[in-house]
Amino acid sequence: MDFDAAATDEEDDQWQERALCAQTDPEAFFPEKGGSTREAKRICLGCEVRDRCLEYALANDERFGIWGGLSERERRRLKRGII
């Protein structure tokens, strides 16, 4: 077994445990259509794993919720190079 690869996989999963959203009401990050995203984005601003979270959302085509401080629409724009 490749222990370096296993350690990397484990580290890749651990970022979610360090995320501030893991300690917050998940409803803030998955608002109803037309609901405010302000609180979730504020929390993301202070999160140490924000960049990793955004990378994950883009790589896994997350279509719902706030990830890495961006909404679904903002992530789509980022992927298209508009942001």
Q: What is the pLDDT of residues 8-62, one digit of tens each?
A: 455 667 899 999 999 999 999 999 888 999 999 999 999 999 999 999 999 999 9
Residue 11: the pLDDT is 60
Do the annotations mark residue 21 as ligand-binding? Answer: yes
Q: Which range of residues forms the domain containing residue 22? A: 3-80
Cα separation, 12 vs 14, in Å, equals 6
Check the CA dihedral 54-57-58-64 and report its sign. Answer: negative
Model confidence at 5: pLDDT above 60: no
Q: Where are the alpha helices (DSSP H) in 19-71?
A: 38-45, 50-59
- Tell whether residue 60 is among the known ligand binding residues: no
Query: What is the chain's Cα-based Rg?
Result: 14
The whole-number pLDDT of residue 56 equals: 96
Is residue 64 within 8 Å of residue 30, measured between CB atoms? yes
Domain total in the chain = 1
Contact 65, 29 (CB under 8 A): yes
Which band of pLDDT confidence, cut at 50, 70 and 90, is reported for residue 83? low
pLDDT in the model for residue 48: 97
47 carries a ligand binding annotation = yes
Quote the pLDDT of residue 10: 52
